Amino acid sequence: MIITKKKPFETINESIKPFKRVFIVGCGTCSTVCQTGGEAQAKELAERIGGKCAGYAVVESPCDMRVLRRDLAPKRAEVDSADAIVALCCGAGAQSTADFTGKTIIPGLDTLFIGKIERIGSFYERCRACTDCIILETGGICPYSRCAKGLLNGPCGGQVQGKCEVGGYQRDCAWVLAYNALKKQERLDVFKKYRPPADRSRKPQEIVTR
Amino acid sequence: MREAFSRLISEIRSGKFVYTGEIAPGKTTRVETLIESAKALGRHVVACNVTDNPRARANMSSLAASIAVQERAGVEAICQMTARDRNRIALTSDLLGASALGVRNVLVMSGDHPSLGDNPSAMPVYDLDSAQMVELVRRMVDDGTDLAGNRIDGKVRIHVGVTGNPNADPLEVEIAKLERKAQLGAEFIQTQAVFDIEVAERFLEAVDGFGIPVLIGILPCRSSRIAEQIAKNVPGIRVPEEYLGMLRGAEDLNDQASVEERVDLMNEEYFSGMVSELRRTARLAGVHIMGVAYGRIVGRIADGVERKMSCRVR
């Protein structure tokens, strides 16, 4: 799931000042689960904005152009009447909405990470979209997202009793977790294996199947 | 066996027990203090570590300072290089510069995370980790290429060392990591500070089979206040109550001048006793003496160890 957090209302309110009318697009998937851009949050924001708000729609998944087209169709008049859109969704959803509507997009949320949800309020980063998943070798623990340094060959000197120096020894050291998991699986040979430098060139990704 | 390019490696191979010291370039454009410290240390050590922005504080470049120390103080440098601030292009580039200008030893490490430092919003690079930095040096020295296989003009003459933490808990993870670095071709280990002889012995025993010389790190403290701060602020180091008690005991005097002498004497006895005992019971190549503005203790501990060892032989 894409984990997001709300921008302060004051920030959004400041951003919408230059515009006459704004329309709000929420997200029925990730932002609904995070309680940052679901029905309740879109409605609440619409009420706080007041007269300037042309309306709102919670699009099932605003990162999908096909779904945007489907879910915004009934609100076409309201969308057309607005000169800017407040997007209560992740960066991907916000940019897809911009592409679809051709209007100025005001991000209403900050996108944090791809993560695991335990309950509302407990979100854990679990993936950096590194393009080359190695968790089979690391006991199911992703070092790119869970090691503060993204190291590939075991913990650094900053772990103390399995806790990470970053953030004051609160979070678990990903590499100690990986070691313990592999030990339990009797696969420590995998831990000891040397992992050579990864391709970290990370160019913008586009997949277009023709 | 690989060619020896440095005095550090030559002396270790000759079987001589070696002492190394450490200096930290500051956030400054002045090198005078650094040169003075290096000169003072140089009388007692074979080589001197030059730290690379420790605790992620932006200081003078360790490579620039290493060159200054070698050329102006005449002391061999062990240039510390972290993976924190440079990608593989910059690391390769600095290693080429180091070799070209006569820096013969580097100590590679991941480096404290930027969030702990004085520019906490800086991007943590870590394009390589310390194991991969060992591979980088090996490729440059042994194959004459960079990591991508591009040829280097001229020979790279550098030895690569790695760090180890005998205080690490769990220790087995630390040992597995060191084994891999030894297999990759690391040439020496310098350790985090150890105060406890049993901690050092346990570590030396665990890495004994790796065939890589170990310099145990010690950190004599010139006051109990400093020792307490280290115990509190550097969680990777364990400072035993016994050591703290001895420091406090030595400080328990009204006359400031003799307090200093008593503390120095206590540190000399404590650490020279520990090191000479380790030399008898374990395979130990040397000792790496760190200190917070306490350069004067280095010679006393080195002399103390040698005195204790020669007494034993006679």
In chain A, what is the straight-line distance between the N-terminal and C-terminal CA atoms, in Å? 28
Please answer whether residues A49 and A22 qualify as being in contact, where contact means their C-beta atoms are separated by less than 8 angstroms. Answer: yes
**CB contact, 8 Å: B135 with chain A?**
yes
- Asked if A157 and B129 come within 8 Å (Cβ–Cβ), the reply is no
pLDDT digits (tens, 9 = 90+) for B50-74: 999 999 999 999 999 999 999 999 9
Q: Which residue of B has its CA nearest to A156?
A: B110
| Phi, psi dihedral angles at B215 (to 5 degrees) | -110, 115
Residue B286 makes CB contacts below 8 A (sequence gap 6+) with: B12, B17, B18, B19, B20, B46, B213, B215, B216
Q: How far is A18 from chain B (nearest CA, A)?
A: 31
Residue A148 burial by Cβ neighbours in a 10 Å radius (0-12, 13-18, 19+) = buried
Lowest model confidence (mean pLDDT) among A21-25, A110-114, A125-129, A157-161: A157-161
Instruction: Order across the sheet with A104-107: list the strands.
Output: A53-59, A22-27, A84-88, A104-107
Asked if A197 and B88 touch (Cβ cutoff 8 Å), the reply is yes
Q: Which residues pair with A2 in a beta bridge?
A: A114
Residue type at position A184: K
Longest dimension (CA), chain B: 65
**Quick one: fold of B7-313?**
TIM Barrel (3.20.20)
Query: To the nearest whole percent, how much of chain A has pLDDT over 70?
Result: 100
Strand partners, B82: B109
Of A154, A161, A166, the CB nearest to B113: A166
Distance (Å, whole) CA B174 – CA B111:
16
Looking at the fold, whether A137 and A36 belong to one and the same domain comes out as no
What is the rounded average pLDDT for all residues in chain A? 96
Q: Is A90 helix (H, G, I), strand (E, B) or coil?
A: coil
Please provide the DSSP assignment of B184-247 as one string: HT--EEEEEE---HHHHHHHHHHHGGG---EEEEE---SSHHHHHHHHHH-TT----HHHHHHH
Contact A149 B124 (CB under 8 A): yes
Instruction: Tell me the nearest-neighbour CA distance from A184 into chain B, angstroms.
Output: 14
Taking CA–CA distances from A193, the nearest residue in chain B reads B180
Interchain contact, A175 vs B147, CB within 8 Å: no
Q: Is residue A91 located within the same domain as residue A140?
A: no
Q: Per the CB < 8 Å rule, is A154 touching B135?
A: no
> Encoding tokens for residue B126?
């870590």
Interface size between A and B, measured as CB pairs under 8 A: 92
pLDDT for A201 equals 93
Q: What is the mean pLDDT of chain B?
A: 95
Residue ending a domain, choose from A55, A85, A112? A112
CA distance A94 to chain B (A): 26
| Token representation of residue A101 | 């509507």
**Residue in A28, A79, A80 with CA at minimum distance from that of residue A56:** A79
Average pLDDT over residues B228-254: 88
Q: How many domains does chain A have?
A: 2
Q: Is B177 on the interface with A (CB under 8 A)?
A: yes
**Residue B23, min C-alpha distance to chain A (Å):** 20
B278 near B204, Cβ under 8 Å?
Answer: yes
Evaluate whether residue A148 is within a structural domain: yes
Nearest CA in chain A to B238: A160
Backbone angles phi, psi at B121, to 5 degrees: -90, 5
Last residue in a domain, options A112, A138, A166: A112
Pairing verdict, β A2-6 and A109-119: antiparallel
Per-residue pLDDT, A101: 97
Residue A206 included in any domain:
no
Residue A121 lies in a domain: no
Question: Which amino acid type is present at position B85?
Answer: D
Judging contacts by C-beta atoms under 8 Å, the chain B residues touching residue A150 are 124, 126
B39: pLDDT strictly greater than 90: yes
Residue B313 binned pLDDT confidence (cut-offs 50, 70, 90): low
A67: left (phi over 0), alpha (psi -120 to 50) or beta: alpha
The ipTM, to two decimals, is 0.93
Which of B60, B169, B56 lies closest to B111 in space, CA to CA?
Answer: B56
pLDDT of residue A172: 97
pLDDT-derived band at B312 (thresholds 50, 70, 90) equals low
Residue A172 domain boundaries: 130-192
Are the C-beta atoms of residues A197 and A150 closer than 8 Å to each other?
Answer: no
Q: Are strands B214-218 and B188-193 parallel, antiparallel or unpaired?
A: parallel
CB contact, 8 Å: B163 with chain A? yes
Least CB–CB distance from A154: residue in B113, B124, B173: B173
CATH number of the domain that A96 lies in? Answer: 3.40.50.1970
Is residue B314's pLDDT more than 60? no
CB neighbours of B16 closer than 8 A, spacing ≥ 6?
Answer: none
Reference B79, options B57, B92, B95; nearest CA is B95
Residues of B in contact with A176 (CB under 8 A): 170, 173
Whether residue B177 and residue A153 make contact (CB cut-off 8 A), yes or no, is: yes
Residue of chain A with shortest Cα separation from B147: A197
In this structure, is residue A200 part of a structural domain? Answer: no
Confidence of residue A126 (pLDDT cuts 50, 70, 90): very high
- Residue-level pLDDT at B237: 87
pLDDT the model gives residue A120 = 87
Contact flag B168-A159 (C-beta cutoff 8 Å):
yes
Q: Which residue has the tokens 């900053």?
A: A158
- Chain A: residue whose CA lies nearest to B125: A149
In a domain, A209, yes or no: no
Helix (H) or strand (E) holding A179: helix A174-184
Distance (Å, whole) CA B32 – CA A25 = 62
List of chain A residues whose C-beta atoms are within 8 Å of the C-beta of residue B129? 149, 151-153, 156
Is A198 part of any domain? no
B132 vs A: CB within 8 A: yes
User: What average pLDDT does range B29-45 have in this prediction?
Assistant: 95
Res. A100 pLDDT band, cuts 50 70 90? very high
A18 and A107 fall within a common domain: yes
Identify which of B89, B244, B235, B250 has the alpha carbon closest to the alpha carbon of residue B168.
B235
* pLDDT > 90? residue B128: yes
B236 Cα to chain A: minimum distance (Å): 6
**What are the structure tokens assigned to B39, written together?**
């000169």
Q: What is the pTM of this model?
A: 0.95
Does A9 map to a domain?
yes
Domain closes at, from A85, A112, A139: A112
Please give the average per-residue pLDDT across A159-172, as a whole number: 94
Asked if residue A122 is part of any domain, the answer here is no
A10 and A91, same structural domain?
yes
Exposed e or buried b per residue across B256-289, where buried means at least 16 C-beta atoms within 10 angstroms of its C-beta: eeeebebbbebbbbbbbebbbebbeebebbbbbb
